[in-house]
Structure 1
Amino acid sequence: MTESARPALPVQERSRETRRRILDAAVTCLADEGYSAATTSRIQQMAGVSRGSLLHQFPSREDLLVAAVQDLARRREGGIAEPEPGAPARDIDSSVGLMWESFQGPLFRAAMQLWVASPHSAELTAALKPRERELGRRIREVIAEVFGPAHAAHPDFDSLVAVINTSMRGVAMTYLFDPRPADDEPLLPVWRSIAHRILDASA
């Protein structure tokens, strides 16, 4: 069957494909161009869809960005390198390195744009808060699995993870205006040293 003779996709499948293209474009626009540039017109252009198709899926910019919040949360959770069942725990250095990796890439940059914008939009804030809380809970669970049960059982483990996560998030935000190789981050050995001082004491 030739390309032109292929049957058209069912309506529901076309609708899902259009929605996927729009959300992908929204995330890319947020990550690469910032919140102010993420207008419906710009996202429509990047997605390669008609104005009518975009408005059918998302009647307003707020509707689109709220959907982007939900999509980002799902994709960020899916990007967590959860260990395979039965896999051995990573060592402390590689576990801390994995935490740092989670703050790199377009999904984090897009989420950061939404965090900064949310205080100016009640609808965006209402959509963002529960998603980020659930995502944070899920990330903490995976981090505990990565470090392994012996380290996760340390009485100061949760506090350690919270402190390192908060520090990493703050440092990662500076990469938005000062791009540089993340592997060369001078605080990475400091975070590892802190983790060793606390967790090795229980070994």
Structure 2
Amino acid sequence: MASDPAMTEAIKTPRRSQAERTAAMRARLIDAAVVCLNRLGYSATTLATIAEEAGVSRGGMLHQFPSKVDLMLAVVAFASGYDERPQAPRALNDDGDKRAQFIDQTDTVWRAQTTPAVMAKLEIMVAARSDPQLADQLPAMFNAIEARRRSFMIDFAREIGVDDAEAIESMVTLHMAAMRGLSLEMLLTDDPARIERAYGLLKRYKEDLVDRLMAEAAAKKASA
């Protein structure tokens, strides 16, 4: 007796759970929103344009994101790694490697600044100036994301012997503000190498600061 192709395919491909289908739909809409924000800008990006880009019905989209602001906040969370995706554990090596990893965190963030998702996030951040609903909700998410970023780097700094949390907090704040500004300028400049040189100076500042803080911490420990 010949097998039913549809039955065979169903056996090969297990049916996804409702949670999996929901996650896939949300990811599809977030991806479409990123495309529209980069192509059209915030004002011209509407729920209708996003639904069309994603190839889903408006009703299907509204079931996941009842408003434009809801979807914009989801884009910000996605671009910041603040969504439901599992976080990969950071490898821990000897002290020398930890210092290099601490310094290289800046490279990781800088490389992300020109990705479509992060550029879309910057578009949303700027738009908060003229969208009252976005301005009402975005700051809480932004501040939570940045607080987590600072906490991560403060904890990481302790692994290389630096306990000056205030200095690390200021460093992270300066670096993030500077990199956002440089990435925006990258959109307009006719000399991207100049931007990269400016970033290199920012990273050298971090190296000098970290080495000074490590030396101060070591001296304090030796005199204790």
Per the shorter chain, which TM-score range?
0.7 to 0.9
Mapped to 1, the partners of 2:212 and 2:36 lie a distance apart of: 46
Match of 1:167 among 163, 178, 196: 178
Mapped to 2, the partners of 1:77 and 1:140 lie a distance apart of: 20
- Bigger shift: 99-108 or 133-142? 99-108
Which secondary structure state, in structure 2, belongs to the residue aligned with residue 140 of structure 1?
A: helix
Mapped to 1, the partners of 2:6 and 2:44 lie a distance apart of: 36
Which secondary structure state, in structure 2, belongs to the residue aligned with residue 185 of structure 1?
A: helix
**Structure 1 residue 15, shift from structure 2 partner:** 4.6
Alpha-carbon distance change, 186 to 180 in structure 1, aligned in 2, over 3 angstroms? same
Alpha-carbon distance change, 178 to 70 in structure 1, aligned in 2, over 3 angstroms? same
Deviation per CA, 1:101-136, whole angstroms, max 9, x where unpaired? 342312211110111111222221222111111111
Unaligned runs of 5+ in 2: 216-224
**Structure 1 residue 169, shift from structure 2 partner:** 1.7
**Structure 1 residue 194, shift from structure 2 partner:** 1.6
Match of 2:71 among 33, 44, 64: 64
**Structure 1 residue 187, shift from structure 2 partner:** 1.3
- Bigger shift: 88-97 or 67-76? 67-76
- Bigger shift: 176-185 or 152-161? 176-185
Amino acid at match of 1:126: D
Amino acid at match of 1:135: I
Mapped to 1, the partners of 2:200 and 2:16 lie a distance apart of: 52
**Structure 1 residue 100, shift from structure 2 partner:** 2.1
Alpha-carbon distance change, 21 to 97 in structure 1, aligned in 2, over 3 angstroms? closer
- For 2:222, the equivalent position in structure 1 comes to none
**Structure 1 residue 10, shift from structure 2 partner:** 6.3
Q: Give the number of aligned pairs.
A: 203
Deviation per CA, 1:82-116, whole angstroms, max 9, x where unpaired? 62356741426534323423423122111101111
Unaligned runs of 5+ in 1: none
Alpha-carbon distance change, 186 to 77 in structure 1, aligned in 2, over 3 angstroms? farther
- For 1:187, the equivalent position in structure 2 comes to 198
TM-score, normalized by length of structure 1? 0.75
Match of 1:43 among 50, 53, 60: 50
Structural RMSD (CA) = 3.6
Higher relative contact order (CA 8 A, sep 6+): 1
Alpha-carbon distance change, 195 to 80 in structure 1, aligned in 2, over 3 angstroms? farther
Mapped to 2, the partners of 1:145 and 1:70 lie a distance apart of: 22
Deviation per CA, 1:53-101, whole angstroms, max 9, x where unpaired? 2234344434433444444444579698762356741426534323423
- Bigger shift: 47-56 or 65-74? 65-74
TM-score, normalized by length of structure 2? 0.70
Which secondary structure state, in structure 1, belongs to the residue aligned with residue 91 of structure 2?
A: coil
